[in-house]
Amino acid sequence: MTSSVTVTSTDAAPDPGPRGSGRRGAAGVKALPPTVRFVASKLGGALASFSLVVVLGFLLFRMIPGDPVATMTRDRPTSPEQLAALRERLGLDKSIPEQFVDYVSGLLRFDLGTSYVYNRPVSEMIGERFWPTVLLVGTATVLAVALGLWLGVRAAWRRGSTFDRVNTGVALTLWSVPQFWLGLLLLIATQGLFPSRGMRSPVLPDDPVAQVLDVAHHLVLPCVTLLAVIYAQYMLVMRSSLLEEMGADYLTTARAKGLRDDLVRRRHAVPNALLPTVTLVFLQFGMVVSGTVTVETVFSWPGLGLLTYQALRGPDLPLLQGVFVVLAGSVLLMNLVAELLYRVLDPRVRES
């Protein structure tokens, strides 16, 4: 009888192993500081998005019409055996899944492959073109932020005035203008005043100051083209944010204390209205980098945008995929920075 009862109680007893480990695992995750959990979740989302970008980019460029081998051998007498040997050397004789495995394994080794057209490592070509794009985008972004914030603050503070209506109308118009079309208009309007092609003059003096001035001279038109389009976003967002703050009680209190209107705006209203604009700077920076294709093509600026256009003419698949990964990665990185920065700047997000 005793034996029977003992066996029954043993069978009915719960298994503490897996359940206990599950509780400990869940407790361990909850025990992590909120900031660590937030950063980990954002990093995981960015990695998942990047993985999806890699897959979609690989499949997208395989759908582009055109044969890289036919383009490379155009106007050259080539036998079928030579074409087959070239396809085999480039790996185009493999199936799509096999090409994808080779592509991903190369990415894991930080190897972006070799350009079909230029027969050079893609990472080396991207490295050469990366800094001209950073120079163009960085200069345009800094000037656009400064101009957009300055105009947005004054337009909001003078809401309904002629200054506000004119600046809002100009910003909305420029925001809707295609960048390549605006670039062509600037080329026509300033013909002879600024260089229209390239980043440097063919013949440069040995003086470093003269070389810097020459690059700055070539930078004017493409930078103004980007600036004219992207400053409008910062101006409109800053105006909208400041208008929302102008009716807040703390501004009424500041005025009641006898503070001048200029101090109320500069010390109280503007800092609180800056938060959406600061995060927008990082969100848009990645988009501006990926959107320089048309501007760099119009002005022959030797950056990643022009490199993308040249790769599309092939199509040079390794070069296209490499540039796409770098541009998409910059967008994802800037989005991640914006989300993390928003948590740092806004106490309400940290508390949630």
| pLDDT tens per residue across span 110-124 | 888 888 888 888 889
Amino acid 224: pLDDT:
92
Residues 73 and 181 occupy one common structural domain: no
Residues 42 and 164 occupy one common structural domain: no
pTM for the structure as a whole: 0.75
Residue ending a domain, choose from 54, 87, 113: 113
Residues 137 and 55 occupy one common structural domain: no
Assigned domain for 231 exists: yes
| Mean per-residue pLDDT over the chain, rounded | 79
Q: Is 283 left (phi over 0), alpha (psi -120 to 50) or beta?
A: alpha
Compute the average pLDDT of residues 80-95.
77
Residues 109 and 129 occupy one common structural domain: no
Residues 89 and 215 occupy one common structural domain: no
Amino acid 53: pLDDT:
86
pLDDT tens digits, one per residue of 204-218: 777 788 888 988 999
Confidence class of residue 4 from pLDDT cuts 50, 70 and 90? very low
Residues 183 and 316 occupy one common structural domain: yes
pLDDT tens digits, one per residue of 241-273: 888 777 677 776 777 777 776 777 767 677 777
Residues 67 and 206 occupy one common structural domain: no
Confidence class of residue 8 from pLDDT cuts 50, 70 and 90? very low
Residue ending a domain, choose from 83, 113, 143: 113
Instruction: Show the tokens assigned to 199.
Output: 């980043």
Confidence class of residue 1 from pLDDT cuts 50, 70 and 90? very low
Res 187 pLDDT > 80: yes
Distances (CA, A) of 105 to 43, 54, 99, 100, 225: 22, 12, 10, 8, 39
- Total domains in the chain come to 2
Q: Is 287 exposed, middle or buried (0-12, 13-18, 19+ CB in 10 A)?
A: middle
Assigned domain for 11 exists: no
Domain hosting residue 93, numbered range: 33-113
Half-sphere exposure of 199 (CA within 13 A, CB side): 16
Confidence class of residue 10 from pLDDT cuts 50, 70 and 90? very low
User: Greater confidence, 302 or 4?
Assistant: 302
Residues 306 and 173 occupy one common structural domain: yes
Q: Is 191 exposed, middle or buried (0-12, 13-18, 19+ CB in 10 A)?
A: exposed
Maximum separation of any 2 CA atoms in the chain, in Å: 109
Amino acid 6: pLDDT:
46
Q: Which of 315, 321, 308, 319 is nearest to 104 (CA)?
A: 321
User: Greater confidence, 190 or 261?
Assistant: 190
What CATH code is carried by the domain that includes residue 328? 1.10.3720.10
Assigned domain for 27 exists: no
Amino acid 23: pLDDT:
52
Residues 233 and 263 occupy one common structural domain: yes
Residues 211 and 244 occupy one common structural domain: yes
Instruction: Give the distance from CA 130 to its chain's centroid.
Output: 13
Assigned domain for 7 exists: no
Amino acid 7: pLDDT:
45
Assigned domain for 279 exists: yes
Residues 50 and 167 occupy one common structural domain: no
Residues 70 and 135 occupy one common structural domain: no
Residue ending a domain, choose from 57, 87, 113: 113
Assigned domain for 10 exists: no
Assigned domain for 167 exists: yes
pLDDT tens digits, one per residue of 30-75: 566 777 887 888 888 889 988 888 888 888 777 777 667 766 677 6
